[in-house]
Amino acid sequence: MSNILEINLDNAAYGGDTIGRLPDGRAVFVPFGIPGETVRIQIVLDKKKFARGELIEVLDPSPSRISARCAHFLDCGGCHYQHIAYDQQLLIKEKVLRDQLERIGRLVSPPIEPVVPSPNKFGYRNQVKFHISQSGKPGFYRANKNGILEISECHLPEIPLADIWHLLEIDPESGLSALGLRLGIQDDILVTLESKGHFAAEFDIEDLPVSVVHVSPGHTEVLAGSEYTIMQVKDRQFRVSGGSFFQVNTPLAGYMVDEIESALPVDPGLVLELYSGVGLFSAFLASRAEKLISIEASERAAEDFVHNLDDFNNVDLYQGPVEDILPELVVEPDVVLVDPPRTGLPKKVIHSLISMQPSLLIYISCDPATLARDSKLLIEAGFTVQKFIPFDFFPQTYHIETLSIWSR
C-alpha cells in the first residue's frame, strides 16, 4: 500500500482528529480535517489496527472550512479547530460527546442538549499558561508534541492579557518551566511563575501593572503586588490565588451556575460537593442548601474557599483527597455535585456515592471519555440521567465541558 492516499473523512474523533478509512478497512486519524471532506494524506504511523495520516491536500473542502486566524495554527498544539466555522465546531463537539456516551458508556440515545456556545469565539480566556522554551521565550507544546513552539501571537486570551504577555522578559537560566497570567475584574493581572525548584533569577516587571507570584512544589512566594486576584461570576466575587484553578471562560461559568441552580429542588437539604476548588459552585449551593459539605484536595484552593465562603455559617470544608475523605464520611446527602479532573471519578468514589443514595447527582465533566465510563457505572447502580448539557468553554479546541443531571 502506498503511503500517499486519497480518502474520505467520515467522523470527528475526541482529541481533534478526523477519521477516515484505509482500503483495508482500518481507521486512519488525520488532524486538521473536517468530516465530509475528501483529502490526500501521507501515512506517518502504520499500526496493525489503525494508522495516522498527515494532511497534504484538501481535494474537496467542506463548506465549513475557513482560514485560521493565527499564524501558528497547524504547528501549535493550543488550537485544533480554527479552520472550522464556529457553528460547525459546536455540531462536531455535540456529535463527539454522543459518540463517546454511546460507544464507551453504552447509552442508547443519550439525552444531549445543543452545545451552549461561548459569547466570545476568540479572546475568551481569563487565564492563559505558557511553557518556557530553552531560550526563555513563552510558547505552547507543538501539535506533534515535539518540544515547545515559541509564539509571537495568541488569540485566545482576553485583550488585556494578549496585550501584555509578550512584554514579560524571562531569563533563560531562571529555571522557570511555565508562566501563567490571570485577569481580574479590575483588569488587574496576576502572573504566576512555575518552577520545579528554586527560582534563581530576577523577573523584570518594570512599569507593568501586574502582581507576581512564584509557585514551586510546597512553596509560594509573592515577588510583587498581591498573591491573588479577584474574579466575579454573576453577582459573586472570588479570591483566586496563584496556582489555584478557576474556570477560564467567565460568562459560560455563569451560564453553568444558572443550570445548576435550576436543577436544584426548592429545598436542597444536605448538599455534598466533591472537588470544590476555590468555591465557585459552592457559594451558589450554600445559598440554597440547609447544609453544604465540601471536599477539596488542594491546600491553596482550600484557603481560597474558606475566604470566599466566609459569609456562610452552613458550610463544612474537608481538605484532602476526595478518595480518602469520602469513604470516612457518615452522611446521607440529598444532593451531590461532583467536578472531578479529566481522569473522572475513581471507582472508590463512585462506590461511596452509590452507597449514599442521593436523590440528585450533578456531574460536571471536562472529558467526555471518562464521563461516558462513569455514566455506565452510574446507570448500572440505578441512576437515571435526565440530560447532558455541553458547554463550549474552549472555542477553537476539541475540549468539551459537560453538565449532566442524574436522579435516583
Which DSSP string do the residues of 108-156 spell out, in sequence order? SS--BPPPBPPS-SSS-BSEEEEEE-TTS-EEEEBTTSSSEEE-S--SS
Last residue of a domain, one of 230, 261, 292: 230
Both 178 and 198 in one domain: the answer is yes
pLDDT tens-place string over residues 276-296: 999 999 999 999 999 999 999
Both 36 and 162 in one domain: the answer is no
Both 258 and 400 in one domain: the answer is yes
C-alpha cell at 366: 471536562
Q: Which residues, at least 6 apart from 323, have a Cβ–Cβ distance to it below 8 Å?
A: 346, 348, 349
C-alpha cell at 289: 442548601
Instruction: Tell me if 235 is assigned to some domain.
Output: no
For 35-83, give the secondary structure using H, E and C.
CCCEEEEEEEEECCCEEEEEEEEEEECCCCECCCCCCCCCCECCCCCCC
Instruction: Tell me if 192 is assigned to some domain.
Output: yes
Instruction: Tell me if 136 is assigned to some domain.
Output: yes
Q: Which amino acid is at 54?
A: E
Instruction: Tell me if 331 is assigned to some domain.
Output: yes
Instruction: Tell me if 171 is assigned to some domain.
Output: yes
Both 282 and 342 in one domain: the answer is yes
Last residue of a domain, one of 195, 230, 265: 230
C-alpha cell at 190: 496576576
pLDDT tens-place string over residues 165-220: 888 778 777 788 888 999 999 889 999 888 876 665 556 666 677 888 888 887 78
Helices then strands, each counted (H, E), the chain: 8, 21
Both 255 and 113 in one domain: the answer is yes
Instruction: Tell me if 89 is assigned to some domain.
Output: no
Instruction: Tell me if 71 is assigned to some domain.
Output: no
Say what the pLDDT of residue 397 is. Answer: 98
Which DSSP string do the residues of 228-247 spell out, in sequence order? EEEEEETTEEEEEETT----
What would the mean pLDDT of 106-115 be, rounded to a whole number?
97
Domain span including residue 179: 127-230
Say what the pLDDT of residue 177 is. Answer: 85
Last residue of a domain, one of 65, 86, 108: 65
Both 260 and 392 in one domain: the answer is yes
Q: Tell me, what CATH number does 294's domain have?
A: 3.40.50.150
Say what the pLDDT of residue 194 is. Answer: 87
Both 147 and 59 in one domain: the answer is no
Both 216 and 253 in one domain: the answer is no
Instruction: Tell me if 380 is assigned to some domain.
Output: yes
Both 312 and 348 in one domain: the answer is yes
pLDDT tens-place string over residues 19-51: 999 999 999 999 999 999 999 999 999 999 999
Both 27 and 52 in one domain: the answer is yes
- Residue ranges of alpha helices (H) inside 208-340 are 250-263, 280-286, 299-308, 322-325
Count of domains for the chain: 3
Q: Distance of CA 365 to CAs 57, 92, 205, 374, Å?
A: 36, 18, 37, 10
Strands 270-274 and 315-319: unpaired
Cα gap 52→26, rounded to integer Å? 10
pLDDT tens-place string over residues 340-382: 999 999 999 999 999 999 999 999 999 999 999 999 999 999 9
Both 384 and 256 in one domain: the answer is yes
List b or e across 194-207, with b for residues whose CB sees 16 or more CB atoms inside 10 angstroms: bbeeebeeebebee
Both 267 and 217 in one domain: the answer is no
